[in-house]
Structures are given as structure tokens and as C-alpha cells.
Amino acid sequence: MSILINKNTRLVVQGITGRDGSFHSMKMKAYGTNVVAGVSPGKGGLLIEDTPVFNTVEDAVRETGANTSVIFVPAAFAKDAMMEAADAGVKLIVCITEGIPTIDVVSAYQFIKQKGAQLIGPNCPGLISPEESLVGIMPTQIFKRGGTGVISRSGTLTYEVVYNLSAQGMGQSTAIGVGGDPVVGLYFQELLAMFENDPDTDSIALIGEIGGDAEERAAEYIKAHITKPVAAFIAGKQAPSGKQMGHAGAIISSSGGTAAEKIAAFQAAGIPVANEPSQIPDLLKNRR
């Protein structure tokens, strides 16, 4: 079993005629994802590798029954793309686009919630349920089907942790990159709850980084609500205060957000924290 996406996912690619949209559309189809439609205003009627292109998401949903969207449009148009998908009845929206103004994300996220939909991202690699569906840009060759759920703020660290999990025979139920911007959609607590309720997820790897207090809140939530083994890794131990490190949300403020504070929160909740991503598999095995 998996969370959020599976073999029944019917995907529409917004921005399918662009460079990234067309490239990753083919990669997702090759993996077995059911890519049923693409959207590119003014280019309705085209076929991209046998995938029909529509002018609007509403048209795509009506004609193909698409229930999930992945967005590859430029940052200036991403707010409208997210809102258009939600307004058309799409229930899961995955926004890969980076560089979107935070105020745009706030507006789009509120609209998406009002429509009863869910958002992953923006500025994220998407998600994958191995051997079922890929929605995003993750390197499929490192993933293996299994029972470990993965939640991460960092795309590249997701891949490193997954590589080590797979190498030690620990496949993944679903792996999700939540995105590194200050405001994103589904985050640690919501995804932890989904994995807790997934009967085929037997352990959880959580990858955090400096900035904000999401990891501290996740630690409290795990202590109170999660019964499955959890191991964490926090990136940014050497980051200086006040300097942005990579992601827009990865910045230590005067009021907190340091790696040390996050590690301490997990340890206080009884959650082991890896010094290196390669230690995650052993930490999980020791808690089973």
C-alpha cells in the first residue's frame, strides 16, 4: 500500500509542452504512471508522446478523469496554475516549480484548502510510491518497494537516504519531498499521520534541515501520536546564524531554527537522530 498516489492515480501535467514538463512527463510514463493529460493554454489538441494536451485543467479533468496534477510552469504563472487545478476538482496538486513568491504560495494554498484539495510543494521533487506511481522528478532507479515511509525537506538528501535504505534491503512505501520554501503544503505532521494509518508502512525516516520550527513540532507529534519506529536526520549543523543555506526556508533566525535545537527536540522525544544519512537504516532496524 502507499499514501497519496498509487496505480489508480490519473495524472495531468501542467506545462507539458515546456522543456521540463515534456521531459519529465515521458519519465513518469516510462515508470508506469498513468499520465492521462497535459495542459498548455493555446496548444489544446496536440499530442505529446500520445498524451492529449488541453487548453485548461477543467477540460482535462472532464475528458480524462484526472485526479492529480503536477506543475512545471514558470514561477510567474505557478499561483494561477495551482488555483486552476484546485478549481477544476483536482484533489492532489504537486508543484515542482521553484522561485515562486511566498505571498503567491500563501494565496494559492488557502484557495486549495478551501476547495478540499491537497498541495505538495512548491520547490519540491514530488513523490513516488515504488512500482506504483511517480509524480515529480525523483530518480526512480534508487527506489525499491517496501515498508519505510520517507518525508524530507531536501531533495538530494532524500535520494541519499533512499539509496542507503534500498542498499540494506529496506524498501519504501512512499517517499515525499515536501519542499524547502518558507510556505509549503502538506508537511511533517499531516504526512506522519498518513504513514501511521498506512498498514503497509512499518517505519518512517524524517529528513529535516535548519530554519523554522517544523521539526520541533514534528517531534512533539511523534511522541504523542506515532507508534511506528522513526529515525531522523537534520541538515545544516555548521550553518551560521542569519545566513540562508540553499532553500529559502533554510535560515536560522535569532529566535531559533538551529540544527542543535531540532536534534535536541527529537532526542527529548526519544527519536534517534543520525549523524550521517547512511545511519538511518540501522537506526530504524534497531527500533523494530
Per-residue pLDDT of the chain (288 residues; tens, 9 = 90+): 689 999 999 999 999 999 999 999 999 999 999 999 999 999 999 999 899 999 999 999 999 999 999 999 999 999 999 999 999 999 999 999 999 999 999 999 999 999 999 999 999 999 999 999 999 999 999 999 999 999 999 889 999 999 999 999 999 999 999 998 999 999 999 999 999 999 999 999 999 998 888 999 999 999 999 999 999 999 866 555 555 455 444 444 444 578 899 999 999 999 999 999 999 999 999 876
Residues 90 and 166 in one domain: no
279, 147: one domain:
yes
Q: How many domains does the chain have?
A: 2
Q: Are residues 199 and 248 in the same domain?
A: yes
Interior/surface letters 18-28, b for 16+ CB within 10 angstroms, e for the rest:
bebbbebbebb
Partners of residue 94 on adjacent β-strands: 70, 120
List, for residues 219-261, the tens digit of each pLDDT value.
999 999 999 999 999 986 655 555 545 544 444 444 457 889 9
pLDDT digits (tens, 9 = 90+) for 23-40: 999 999 999 999 999 999
Residue 247 annotated in active site: yes
* Structural domain contains residue 3: no
Same domain, 77 and 181: no
Q: Residue 184: which domain range? A: 139-287
Phi, psi at 279, each rounded to 5°: -85, -15
Looking up residue 241, the CATH number of its domain turns out to be 3.40.50.261
> Is 130 part of any domain?
no
Strands of the sheet containing 230-235, edge to edge, are 133-136, 126-129, 172-177, 145-152, 203-209, 230-235, 273-274
The reply to whether 1 falls in a domain is no
How far apart are the C-alpha atoms of 54 and 65, rounded to whole Å?
Answer: 13
**How far is the C-alpha of 16 from the C-alpha of 198, rounded, in Å?**
32
Question: What is the CATH classification number for the domain harbouring 97?
Answer: 3.40.50.720
Catalytic residue among 29, 79, 228, 247: 247
Query: E strands along 20-167, which residues?
Result: 34-39, 47-48, 51-54, 68-71, 92-95, 118-120, 126-129, 133-136, 145-152
